[in-house]
Structure 1
Amino acid sequence: MKYLISIILIASITSIIYGFTIQETDVVFAHKCIGFGTVGIFLIAMPLFLITVSKGKNMKDYMLNEENIRRMQGKDSRSKKKE
């Protein structure tokens, strides 16, 4: 999966760069290349990357709720028992 994301990212960046280089000769095709490159990065590569990175992690640990705020401030009941 890591290699697929890398290939999509490289292809998208290449498409964007190619679109900017041919912008003076063929404007319509250049805009299409830039658009497909942007779609590749933000709608394909980024969600795939986020899915692979967040696999197996508990999203409740990253939410800002009362318990996590107390834990960040050091006022958790477990930290009181240690003192």
Structure 2
Amino acid sequence: MKIFIYVLFTISLIFIISGYIIEDINSEKFIGGGTFLLFFIVIPLFLYYRWQNKKLKDFILDNEKLKKMKDNN
């Protein structure tokens, strides 16, 4: 999964950079396609990969954690 995300990220960057380098009518489609690939496919896959086995409760700040923070200071 990690390699797949890197490959898609590289492809999207190649599309975006080639869209800026190539002076053609369709260059805007390369930029748009690379941006679409990056923001709607690569980033959600990356977030899913990174948060796969994590508990959301560990990252939420609640009263217990606030008390622990106050006690430590």
What TM-score, normalized by structure 1, do the two folds share? 0.78
Q: Greater shift after overlay, 43-52 or 6-15? A: 43-52
The Cα of 1:72 is off from its aligned counterpart by 2.5
Rg larger for? 1
- Partner of residue 15, structure 1: 15
Match of 1:39 among 30, 36, 40: 36
SS in 2 for 1:45: helix
Give structure 2 stretches of 5+ with no counterpart. none
**Post-superposition CA distance 1:48-76 (Å, at most 9, x none):** 1111111111101101221222222336x
Written as runs of structure 1 = structure 2, the 5 A alignment for 1:1-83 is: 1-22=1-22, 24=23, 26-27=24-25, 29-74=26-71
Matched positions, count: 72
What TM-score, normalized by structure 2, do the two folds share? 0.87
Percent identity between matched residues is 38
**Post-superposition CA distance 1:22-73 (Å, at most 9, x none):** 1x3x13x111110111111111111111111111111011012212222223
Dislocated runs of 4+, deviation >4 Å: none
Give structure 1 stretches of 5+ with no counterpart. 76-83
Q: Greater shift after overlay, 51-60 or 61-70? A: 61-70
